[in-house]
Amino acid sequence: MIYDEFSPSRTRRTLNLGGRTLRALGLDGPLTGVLAIVVCFGILVVYSASGLNVKMVEHHLGNIVIAVAAMIALAKFATPHYLRLFAPIAYVIGILLLIVVDVTGHVGKGAQRWLDVGFVRFQPSEIMKLAVPMICAWYMHERPLPPTFKDLLVMGLLIAIPTAMIARQPDLGTALLIAASGLIVMLLAGMQLRIIVISIPLLATAAVAAWHFIHDYQRQRILTFLKPENDPLGTGYHIIQSQIAIGSGGLFGKGYMMGSQAQLEFLPERSTDFIFAVIGEEFGLLPCLVLLVLYGVIIGRALYLAMQGQDTFSRLTGGAIALSFFVYVFVNSGMVSGILPVVGVPLPMISYGGTSMVTLLAGFGILMSLHSHRKLIGS
């Protein structure tokens, strides 16, 4: 028998080949690698969380294929120049679609969010998750940093219009996330500290005012979040059951596909918004912490790539994509573990559902394109 000898040179060649392929596609090796790990882990979790539903896993895989294709396409072809030109177009299209949804939108889960364009149903608000930070970055691109007060007002308006429209749908969670993505651009652009300090009491006042305008169910969510045990079978049910799932998982978990909370459907939305609780229940604390570390690596790498951007648009867009991703991770894990209110945000790269997956990977595609299409010599 002949045994192949382990050949370091061969390994290196393979690595080089992989690296070259990635570079040719405009992808960043470390970021792509970690994303791939998380997505693959997500497939495993979705299989368990769906109650061992093979159909759902197939659908999930299909979503991943579409999302990866979108990421590669954007990374390869969307040069910073085109992206900058496209930013206002995307924003305007997004606004128009929101109007369409408002007028004719389908009613999904009691809220008008979905748009049916024949072969696919999607939420125009998802476009805004990328379009809003891009329009802000686009606006600041030609202007010197830090932004003037007037710049902040303009950006504030650009953010406020889609935010208000989405909040009216009503989808407060997404509206807040979109506002956050725009705000991130303002902060990264160098928004002065004193303005930040001054705006805190203003925001507090606005929050109190908003209390009177939001829907009853949203108010209920906040109240339930503060005291979930008051309504254990109603709105508090989600939070209580997800904490039971995570807590009962313990250090080592109940075992893959053996979580009683998830498998016996005590955990609501187990394959979408509350999938993090399935991980906590079935795998235990350590994999959860590893997952958080992986998310941290993704965010860190993304910020690093953004920092290397050669112009304001690239840097701000990249930074906003990186930090928005963090916001999703934090809001979802915070909600599921009971330190934030329940807002319908899926766990990035893991939750079942195509829209989120496509938007996130498209974002990373843009980020990587901005990085890979750098000019070698600064202008």
Residues that bind other proteins (CB under 8 A): 48, 51-52, 143-146, 184, 187-190, 241, 243-251, 255-266, 280-281, 284-285, 288-289, 292, 295-296, 299-300, 303, 306-307, 309, 312, 315-316, 319, 323, 326, 329-330, 333-334, 337-339, 378
- Residues 232, 234, 240, 246, CA torsion sign: positive
3-state DSSP assignment of residue 374: coil
Burial class (CB in 10 A: 0-12, 13-18, 19+), 129: buried
- Phi, psi at residue 103, to the nearest 5°? -85, -50
Please say which residue, 26 or 253, places its beta carbon nearer to other proteins: 253
Please say which residue, 113 or 371, places its beta carbon nearer to other proteins: 371
Please say which residue, 161 or 187, places its beta carbon nearer to other proteins: 187
Beta strands in the chain (DSSP E): 106-108, 111-116, 121-122
Please say which residue, 64 or 298, places its beta carbon nearer to other proteins: 298
Smallest separation, CB 120 to other proteins (Å): 31
Smallest separation, CB 233 to other proteins (Å): 11
- Is 123:105 a contact under the CB 8 Å cutoff? no
- Is 128:98 a contact under the CB 8 Å cutoff? yes
Long-range contact pairs involving 6-12 (C-beta distance under 8 Å, separation at least 24): none
Diameter over CA atoms, the chain:
79
Smallest separation, CB 140 to other proteins (Å): 9
Please say which residue, 122 or 237, places its beta carbon nearer to other proteins: 237
Smallest separation, CB 213 to other proteins (Å): 28
CA gap 177, 163 in Å, rounded:
9
Residue for token pair 């024949």: 118
Please say which residue, 101 or 189, places its beta carbon nearer to other proteins: 189
Please say which residue, 92 or 290, places its beta carbon nearer to other proteins: 290
3-state DSSP assignment of residue 272: coil
Smallest separation, CB 347 to other proteins (Å): 12
Which amino acid is present at 214? I
Residue for token pair 């910073």: 80
Please say which residue, 46 or 111, places its beta carbon nearer to other proteins: 46
In DSSP terms, which residues pair with 111 in a beta bridge? Answer: 108
Smallest separation, CB 263 to other proteins (Å): 3
Residue for token pair 């805190």: 200
The secondary structure of 54-86 as a DSSP string is: HHHHHHHHHHHHHHHHHHHHHHHH--HHHHHHH
Smallest separation, CB 65 to other proteins (Å): 26
CA gap 12, 105 in Å, rounded:
54
Smallest separation, CB 94 to other proteins (Å): 25
CA gap 150, 147 in Å, rounded:
8
Smallest separation, CB 190 to other proteins (Å): 4
Please say which residue, 52 or 203, places its beta carbon nearer to other proteins: 52
Smallest separation, CB 76 to other proteins (Å): 25
Contacts of residue 253, defined as CB under 8 A and 6 or more positions apart, other chains included, come to: 259, 280, 281, 282, 283, 284, 287
Please say which residue, 143 or 215, places its beta carbon nearer to other proteins: 143
Residue for token pair 């319908």: 344
